[in-house]
Chains A and B, each alone.
Chain A
Amino acid sequence: MLEEEKNSNEQNFFDQMANEPSPIPLKKLQRSKSNVVIAGVCSGIAEYLKMDTATIRIIALLTVLIGGWGAVAYIITSLLLPVEQKPKQLTDDEIYSQRKENFMTVLSGLLILAGIHFALVYIGFRSGERIFILPNDFVFPFVSMALGIILLSKNVAVFSEPGFQTPDSFSRSRTDRKIMGVCGGLSKYLNVDSSALRIIFILATLLTLGIFCIVYIYFSLFTFYETEQKFE
């Protein structure tokens, strides 16, 4: 009887110890479950190192330039690391903004990666026939398949922001403007990034010998500025 009571007391003590928060928070390297693009490895590393997740993701993408060994390391790490036990509880808006940020991070990483790769190919430091350690003809079908899967999956629902209403009419922007606010207004009307739109516009202007300037002047002459917001 005494033995049983002693055992149960010991059990209660250990249970209590397990439930009590540790005075020194333990840093665990684990895969994230709340902020995932592929397997949550980059997010886990960022949490462990207390760094920005996007920066780790960009660095991970740029490892492709050294022969794709980063991808192999990623697969091995995702198999070895445990998954986070208590993921952060996020609201719908937080999930949406996180998903959008992740999409923008991956897109920017891919653009930087492609830019550096082709710059190195032009200089002659890299072979144009290989992107990874494998030849282009072998890699491109996989890239196309991955793009198709991403497009079909719901992870690219970044285009439809919950609660975001595109304006009914087109007007020039007062707040986001460089010259006459046409690109800023157009980006708001179309719900696209204004800086990307400006770069595309400048490129199109250069390649068409300035014909796009006519369109810009036309837009700025025949559209009004957006109505001023009044704050009380």
Chain B
Amino acid sequence: MPDEQILGGAIIFYSLPTAYFSLENGKRDKLVWATILFCVSVVLIVKSYFEILDTRGIIFVSILFVSGTVLMLLFIENMKEKVFFFSSLILILLSYLSVTFFKNLGLFETANKIGNLVEVFWPVILIVLGIGIFIKRKK
């Protein structure tokens, strides 16, 4: 069994019950992380089963879809907040449109150029994030 499938399975095993219990307990921080982890593991498993040529393109769609899913779950957790529902609809719709209608507009090519920059500078992002958390650790 490939590594991606094992990792994906393990994350699903952890994230699914965590998301479920977080919904019951109203712990939104855990709910958000568990939902993101669940979606990432699904992407990992799908990627291991299918041969996807434009791997960078998955990131573009995945970010939109995962964010939409997180906002939808936040709406389910607190039904009064309609703003989460509509924003999630916008994001999920845009993620669908980006692989169908917008594909011919050269959207992925432009996103890939930015992706190339992030690919080079991501260690710097990690260091900045780490220093930021270290400075604000006592807050």
Contacts and interface: CB of A to CB of B under 8 A. Distances in A.
Contacts of A118: 122-123, 126
A169 B14 CA distance: 28
B26 A115 contact: no
Nearest to A122: B123
Interface string B11-53: 0001000000000001111101000000000000000000000
Interface in A156-200: 159-160, 166, 168-170, 189-193, 195-196, 199
Interface string B99-131: 000000001001100110010101111111111
A204 interface: yes
A111 interface: yes
A105 interface: yes
Q: How large is the interface on B (under 10, 10 to 19, 20 to 34, 35 or more residues)?
A: 35 or more
Nearest to A151: B14
A111 B29 CA distance: 20
A74 interface: no
A144 to B, nearest CB: 8
A219 interface: yes
Contacts of B2: none
B126 to A, nearest CB: 3
Given A54-B134, A209-B110, A112 B127 contact: yes
B87 interface: yes
A193 B136 CA distance: 9
Q: How large is the interface on A (under 10, 10 to 19, 20 to 34, 35 or more residues)?
A: 35 or more
Contact of B29 (A58, A191, A195): A191
Of listed A108, A109, A118, residue having the most chain B CB within 10 A:
A108
A229 B127 CA distance: 36
18 contacts: A54-B137, A104-B133, A109-B130, A115-B126, A118-B123, A151-B14, A169-B81, A170-B84, A190-B28, A191-B29, A206-B114, A207-B111, A208-B111, A209-B107, A211-B64, A211-B94, A215-B87, A218-B83
Interface of B: 10, 14, 26-30, 32, 59-60, 63-64, 67, 74, 78, 80-81, 83-84, 86-87, 90-91, 94, 107, 110-111, 114-115, 118, 120, 122-134, 136-138
Top-5 shortest CB links A-B: A111-B130, A115-B126, A115-B127, A112-B130, A108-B134
Given A115-B123, A170-B81, A203-B118, 20 more contacts: A104-B133, A104-B137, A108-B137, A111-B130, A112-B126, A114-B126, A115-B125, A116-B127, A170-B83, A192-B29, A193-B133, A193-B136, A196-B132, A199-B129, A207-B115, A208-B63, A208-B64, A209-B114, A215-B87, A215-B91
